[in-house]
Structure formats: C-alpha cells, structure tokens
Structure 1
C-alpha cells in the first residue's frame, strides 16, 4: 500500500533533518530526546517505576503489578543515539501495561564514544544483575525473561538471545522490531529497495554512519555478534519479528525471520503496511504503533505465562 496518510503527514511536517555526522550527533541526540513527548505521548501509568543501578549500568524498571515475568528492553538509535531512558519511556510504560510483565529498559553505552563490544558488555551486565539481585529485590522470576529490541536494539536483542543460549541460560522469548542484522545493507543502491528514493537514501546514509561508528574499520563484521545471520540459530527462543513496509531494514529482518524458522525456531514475521522505520515509538501519531505494541504485548504475555 502507499505510505499511510499519518506517516506522510508526519514526514511532511518534520523539519529538514541535519545529516548524521560526528559534529551533528550531539544535536541529533538532543532532538530525539526533545521530540519524544510529541511523538510518543505522555506515557501510561504503571504501578511503580524505579531507576536502578545494575552493577554500573543504568536501568529503568517498570512494574505494572505483582508479576514475576520480565522483559529486557533494548532501545534503538543506531547504537549511537538513544536519547536516554526518557525517550523510550512512553513505549516501555505501554508495553508493561499491556503485557503485564515488568519491563527493564537498559541504558547501554553508545558509540562512537564506546564502540563494539561496549553495548553487549552493558547488556550482559544488566541481564545478570536483573536475574540475580533484581529478581530477588523485585520478586521477578529469572526463568521467565524475554528480550525485546527495536532497530539497533533489535540487533542487540538477537545477539543477546544467542549469546545467553550458548551459556545455557537462554531467554523465554525474543521480539525483534525492524532489527539490524546485515552489515552489507547500507552499501546497497537506494533503488534496490521498495522505498521512496529520498527516504531510502536517508536511511542508508544513517546506516553507513552508524555501522562505521559502532564497528569501525578493523572489526570483522562477518562475526556472528555483528552479523547475526552468520550464527547457528538452532535452539533460540520463539521469535516475533516486526518490520515496516517502507524501511530499508525490512528485507534483512524478514531474511532473519526466515533463517530462524529454517533453524526450527518457532517464528512469526509480520510487516506493518504503509509504515516506515521507527513507527513503533509514534504512539501519539500512528494508529499502527499502538496496534504493533499490542501484538508484541500479547506475544509476550503468552510466551511468559
């Protein structure tokens, strides 16, 4: 279908965005944080929200009630931009309220100040803390834990699910929202994607910058931690993979879902028509955002029951 009218309206009203660069990054980070309220809304009330120190990693824990199930949430932003915990606060609140599970948003370190593998180190530290100290302190069940991430956070979630499987402490479920899984995508021609050329060009340019700052020259991007499609995927937890029709990441997300299914992993892949990248945060502007979060929440509620 064509771009959804709501998406077209938001794109048309948005001011011209500065191209991502080292000089522009502080301003882009501030803009993401500053625009969160208008894009995502005020957020849903939940019973308790706690900012905790997970052995040096900032984590915001959303507790919708007396539930022992836990969702580890890893935000997007190309590994270089997250806007802080406040940017994803409305989304995490809504996800906790609908799923009935505690949601732990991990504020991992960002590139280029902290390139790969810093983000993975922080995620692992936070997960270990949540499954031990956090579980005891907040009454969580360390055996009923899902991992969820969007965009670059989807990449972190996919790899984290595999890394913890490898040490015998796998997750119950994984949800990957327009995940980054193929380092070669940003080098492709914008015309190769069923996305308006100007939009594809911006998305690909962002991708090139983000990959170059997260895993600079000298890193082996064929390593499974950087290229999840290269990994052995058998035995991973059930997966929901969400993509957007007008997103250059759609093809790689769908390819990863197919690879999971081929490896015997129970997998559902869904593409939201008329939507573009980062639509899930747009709770205040996109009907599809609330529908998608509801689908994610229903999946988590079923898998973590």
Structure 2
C-alpha cells in the first residue's frame, strides 16, 4: 500500500465526489489538548448537543478535508455542533493511537465545551467506515468509564476484524483493501481478539442508542447489520437502514448519489427520535 499516494488521491477526488459544500454559520479549527479538531456550528448561537466525529479511510486515509462536506451537512441537518477529530493515522501511528486521540477530545469537551457553546452532557459519537469502529468502541469505552454518550451513529462501519465478507462482485471496497487497512492499523502480532478491535466481544447491554446506515453493495454490510442485531438483542434502541443499490460509504460522496443527502437527513431524524430531549 502506497498510503501517501492514496491519501493524496482521496483528497484530489473530493471535488468530484462531494461537490459544493453546504454553508454553515461557523467553522473553526481548534486544538483539543494537542489533538486538531474542526468545529461546525449551524444552529442558534446557544449551547447545543455535539456529534463527536471520526472520519473513515481505513484508519490510514482521510482527514478533516475529505469529510468537510459531510460534517457541514450533518451540522446543518441536525442543528447539533459537529466536532471532527483529526486523529493520528496508521501506519505511522497504529492502534491504539486513534482511540487515544478521540478520548483526549472527549475529555477536552467535558472541560472546555461550554466555552464553545457545546453541551458536555449531550455528546453523541459518530463515524463512517473505519471511523465507525472508532465510534462504536469509543461508545463502549465511555459506558465502561461512566461517561455515557447519548447516541452512536455508525455509517457503513467496520465492526469486526474477522473480515468475513460477502462476494458482491462489484468494483467498490475490496476485501484485499481491508486486509491492508487492518494490517496497517493493527499490524500482525497485535492481538485482535479483544473488544477494542472486535466490538462483538464486548457486552452490549447499556450501550447508547444507535443509528446504523449500511449499503447493499458494500462488503461491510453484513457485519454492520449483525452488529445492529446484537445491539437490539441486548436491549439497545437501534435504527438500522440498508440503502439499496448503493455503495460503501455513500453518505460522504454527496455529488455521486442522491441517497447521500437522504441518509444524512435520516440520521438527523433518528438522532431526534432517539434523544428527544436534545432536539435543538
């Protein structure tokens, strides 16, 4: 994997895949105890709930710029603030660096959130693709530490290192790509058989309500839907939707499919349904 070239290619494709971005009231780059973050605020100039966001890209690719369009639209549709985390990426900084950075930002929110009109008692965690694993594990870590999140939003998420993928026969995300991403994030020799890399190994009871979006033509579809079923079986409120005829991580690619904007609108509606007391 030439990860440097792949990172640049992902950046170069933003204009074609994402298109013109949504204007929001305020976008600021901040330092959260040493971790770069980008804050999006589009609601009223008042304290609002926060969506703590982990971008996708196989823990190797992606950054604040590749996901700027999606984060802007999430802020506009939800009325919540979106705080996107520029976590350290593999292979330079493998597991557990990304988790450490997200937890640092979550701690920063508790101390400094109100200075930025953010409600530290109303924080949801979200992520797409590889960021979905970061979000799911962060939600479980928060529960275990007594710092509960009000919801978790998982968009086409990675949820298992088993890599038991269906043969979909399309040119989307490929199994070999996931092998390379996993090897960069949790290199051979790292024990992947624990809950920080395999959420199926954790007790699901008491986890925050979940919104899970999957795509019919995505090899991650089945594991994400199994995880949704596991949460529901444990009594966790879950809204899970499979979008037919579309591809991996489609909500980020707003210029390529109308389903992207529909999915973001659904995420906003689901957050309101699951956390009614936090409707802006």
Q: Give the TM-score taking structure 1 as reference length.
A: 0.87
Q: Which residue of 2 aligns with 1:74?
A: 54
User: Structure 2 residue aligned with 1:291, among 246, 262, 267?
Assistant: 262
Q: Does 2:82 match 1:103?
A: yes
User: Which whole-Å deviations, capped at 9, do the CAs of 1:239-281 have from their partners, x for residues lacking one?
Assistant: 0111110111011000100000111101121100001112111
**Counterpart pick for 2:152 among 174, 180, 186:** 174
Quote the residue 1:18 is aligned against.
Answer: none
Which position in structure 1 is the counterpart of 2:3?
A: 25
Runs of 4+ that moved beyond 6 A: none
SS of equivalent residue, structure 1 residue 52: strand
**Number of residue pairs matched by the alignment:** 274
| Structure 1: tracts of 5 or more residues without a match | 1-20
Q: SS of 1:51's equivalent?
A: strand
Shift of 1:42: 2.1
User: Of 122, 129, 135, which residue of structure 2 is paired with 1:151?
Assistant: 129
The corresponding residue for 1:87 is: 66
Secondary structure class of the residue paired with 1:213:
helix
Displacement of 1:180 after TM fit?
0.7
CA distance in 1, matches of 2:176, 2:110: 38
Q: 2:12 aligns with which of 6, 25, 34?
A: 34
Measure, in 2, the Cα distance between the counterparts of 1:98 and 1:280.
13
Stretches of structure 2 that go unaligned for 5 or more consecutive residues are none
Counterpart CA distance in 1 for 2:166 and 2:202 is 25
Which shows bigger deviation, 70-79 or 276-285? 276-285
Residue 193, structure 1, aligned to residue 193, structure 2: no
Q: Secondary structure at the residue paired with 1:32?
A: helix
Residue aligned with 1:299, SS: helix
CA RMSD of aligned residues (A): 1.3
Q: Tell me what 2:34 maps to.
A: 56
- Contact 2:239 2:270 survives alignment (8 Å): no
The reply on whether 1:266 has 2:237 as its aligned counterpart is: yes
Moved more, 156-165 or 122-131: 122-131
Deviation at 1:145, TM superposition (A): 0.8
Distance 1:301 1:32 in 2: 32
Partner SS for 2:181: helix
Q: Which moved more, 1:135-144 or 1:223-232?
A: 135-144
Which secondary structure does the structure 1 equivalent of 2:184 belong to?
helix
Find the counterpart in structure 2 of residue 234 from structure 1.
205
What is the rounded CA distance, in whole Å, between the counterparts of 1:129 and 1:299 in structure 2? 26
Q: Distance in 2 between matches of 1:70 and 1:263?
A: 26
Instruction: Verify: 1:163 aligned to 2:134, yes or no.
Output: no
1:194, distance to aligned residue in structure 2 (A) = 5.0
SS in 1 for 2:224: helix
**Separation of aligned partners in 1, 2:256 and 2:198:** 33
Select the residue among 138, 151, 158 that pairs with 2:116. 138
State TM-score, norm by structure 2. 0.95
- The answer to whether the 8 Å contact 1:194/1:246 transfers is no
